[in-house]
Copies of this chain bind each other. A is one copy, B any other.
Amino acid sequence: MIITLKKNTPKEEAQKIISAIEKKGLHVTVIEGTNYNVYGVVGDTTVLDEKAISANPFVDNVTRIAAPYKKANRLFHPDDSIIDVAGIKVGGQEDIVVIGGPCSVEDRLSLLELAKDVKQAGGCMLRGGAYKPRTSPYAFQGMGTTGIEWMCEAREQYGLPIVSELMSIDKMDEFEEHVDLIQVGARNMQNFDLLKVLGKSKKPVLLKRGLANTIEEWIMSAEYIMAGGNENVILCERGIRTFEKYTRNTLDLSVIPIIKQKSHLPIIIDPSHATGDWKLVESMSLAAIAAGADGLIIEVHNNPESAWSDGAQSLKPDKFKAVIEKGRQIAHVIGRGM
């Protein structure tokens, strides 16, 4: 960490700052500049709060050199983490996983039919929202517990582990018991109380990136879960908010190589929410695979026109199958199974 003090800082004030830092077990070195004095802080700087330091009126600027995360940091954990989701391995050189299913679970029969289609197309997990984060209080809010029960039934029948979004700490027991991969949605990426509760679980967590969050903030949210004791975190990019109007969000595929540089956690891509348009899902899926993603999570629906939410972004099962088949060939080129 680099702390810049104004040139006119009295010696005793500078000394106070240095002492406070050294008390926490860190070392400080000074460089005298023309217009500023610069202090280099050496040691485990995750214990320092840059905002608190900036509060000092003599401090001009505080810059972190080392990343503020430890457990999620590739630097201290050089090997890829491989996360086990009910027997399916995600990350490292494991096969690329494809998760398919409806945005929200709507009725039992069509869910079971869809699970069969996902399975036959080559999907390896079933997604489905039972609790839905909706911008409007007047929109469909999800089937709740019933939805989770139908998901469990589909799992039993087709052997697909299930993925569903947890929105609130009071449903944690239900998810702990029934769901194989617990999704944290984009709007809850910084719902720190939810992250803390997940940190006490052993269930794998699919952590979506927030709509306007940086990669560093996203990894810090993973760090929350890991710091609590649960290291089974899979990151999921689902598009960020930009000024573009022709897509719902902007899919940021550069996160794939970046996450692999900065962290050891697996990274999967959600092209459906990112684009909001099924016509873009195939090209973005293939691009994600070419860029090195560890998996895809894709919305599939038998009858998108009559879906209760997000039908516009859902693939029909035959199209989903086609994406997997083409994707497998791309995976082959970059030396990966799928």
Which residues of A are in contact with B by a Cβ distance under 8 Å? 2, 4, 29, 31-36, 38, 40, 42-44, 46-47, 49, 51-52, 54-57, 60-61, 63, 65-66, 68, 75, 133-140, 167-170, 187-188, 190-194, 196, 211-217, 220, 223-224, 227-228, 240-247, 250-254, 256-258, 261-262, 274-275, 279-280, 283-284, 286-292, 304-314, 326, 329-330, 333-334
Contacts and interface: CB of A to CB of B under 8 A. Distances in A.
A305 B56 contact: yes
Contacts of A280: 254, 257-258
A334 to B, nearest CB: 7
Contacts of A307: 52, 55
Contacts of A192: 133-134, 137, 167, 187
A220 B135 contact: yes
Given A54-B311, A215-B246, A216-B246, 5 more contacts: A34-B42, A191-B191, A253-B283, A287-B291, A329-B333
Contacts of A190: 133, 135, 187
Nearest to A223: B137
A65 to B, nearest CB: 5
Contacts of A138: 46-47, 68, 227
A336 to B, nearest CB: 12
Nearest to A239: B254
Nearest to A134: B192
A4 B65 contact: yes
